[in-house]
Amino acid sequence: MSRTPRIAVIATATAAVVSTPAVWLLDGPGPGQFVGASVQAATGVAALLWAMLRDRPAPAAHDTVEHTGDAVAVDGGNALTGFSGPADRSTGPSVTRHTGATRAEGAGSVANSGTYYR
């Protein structure tokens, strides 16, 4: 549930829990009013708990890299114009567009212009 409907449900449930049962119970309730107030309060509490405890969808986060410059790796260095990160930390798709050129020179050098999960 998105934020706006969640707030509306919480506000409505809070109003139901507090308002009408309080009015009924303040005026010397009979057995029917007492049962009605109890049922209405329980319904409001259930709606409030439902709105607060309902699972929220995971955010659609992703890694984005765009329009980077060029990079050169020399003698064991790393040249990166894209994205690099641990694979277990990825929370969504990765987008790499229009990255600069990379060049690796020398033993052990690495060049990457895309997405590299290590």
Q: Give tens-digit pLDDT for 92-110.
A: 777 888 888 989 999 999 8
Q: Whose structure tokens read 């507090």? A: 18
Q: Is the same domain home to 75 and 113? A: yes
Q: Are residues 108 and 87 in the same domain?
A: yes
Mean pLDDT of 47-70: 75
Residues 89 and 109 both lie in one domain:
yes
- Whether residue 58 lies inside any domain: the answer is no
Within 10 Å of residue 112's Cβ, how many Cβ atoms? 19
Number of separate domains in the chain: 2
CB 81 within 8 A of CB 70: yes
Kindly give, in sequence order, each residue whose CB lies less than 8 Å from that of residue 108, ignoring residues fewer than 6 positions away.
75, 76
Domain identity same for 15 and 35: yes
Residue 22 confidence (pLDDT) above 90 = no
Q: Say whether 12 sits in a helix, a strand or coil.
A: helix
Q: Are 83 and 65 in contact (CB under 8 A)?
A: yes
- pLDDT recorded at residue 72: 93
pLDDT over 80 at 31, yes or no: yes
Does the reported pTM lie above 0.75? no
Its sign, for the CA torsion 11, 16, 20, 25, is negative
Question: Does 13 score more than 80 pLDDT?
Answer: no
* Domain carrying residue 42: 3-53
Residue 116 host element (H or E): strand 115-117
Q: State whether 38 and 77 are in the same domain.
A: no
pLDDT greater at residue 103 or residue 27? 103
Residue at 25 is within a domain: yes
